Amino acid sequence: MEISSTRNLLDPSELIEIEHIPASRGKRLATYLLDFVIWLFSLFVLVFIWAMFIEVTENDTLLNVIVYGSFVFYTTLFEWLLGQTPGKMITGTLVINEQGQPISFWQALGRSFARLIPFDALTYISRERPRGLHDKVSGTWVVNKITPSVFQGKDSLIDSTSHTAD
């Protein structure tokens, strides 16, 4: 008995080119507001728990570290591991690098620190495409997420491996 395996390969004419469409200013603003509210709520919970154990003063340097550190942690962790923060999940956007691939840890960290620059939000005003300073510094784009529904109704591009026995 002979077992052979055949595999049907893709013909170049069967490939689908995917275009990443940059997220609009409106989506970027909605994402920012959603993430700000989610982060602020988590910060209040964190500070409340922290205050139960440590005395809080008005000029407490540790409190500043917690505020800014929690923001950097929130955005870096979500964008690095998932490609999107909770706000981006809700608005259907995600972060990619300039090659259209998921971003690295260092790109996510760079985006997060660049957002702390006070005039970062103003860098959207005069641009045709909504790309902020934190996007340019880290070599990233925020794009509309491509969902599987884009491919509904398409024939399978790759036939499964078939095995035949003689």
Determine the pLDDT at residue 48. 85
Tens of pLDDT, residue by residue over 20-63, are: 888 888 898 999 999 999 999 999 998 888 778 777 666 677 77
- Quick check: helix, strand or coil at residue 111? helix
So what's the pLDDT on residue 16?
58
Residue stretches of the chain with pLDDT short of 50: 1, 4, 154-166
The domains of the chain are located at 25-147
Q: 98-102 long-range CB contacts below 8 Å, 24 or more apart? A: 98/139, 98/140, 98/141, 100/18, 100/20
Q: What is the pLDDT of residue 166?
A: 44
Q: What is the pLDDT of residue 160?
A: 41
- For residues 120 and 132, what is the distance between their CA atoms, to the nearest angstrom? 7
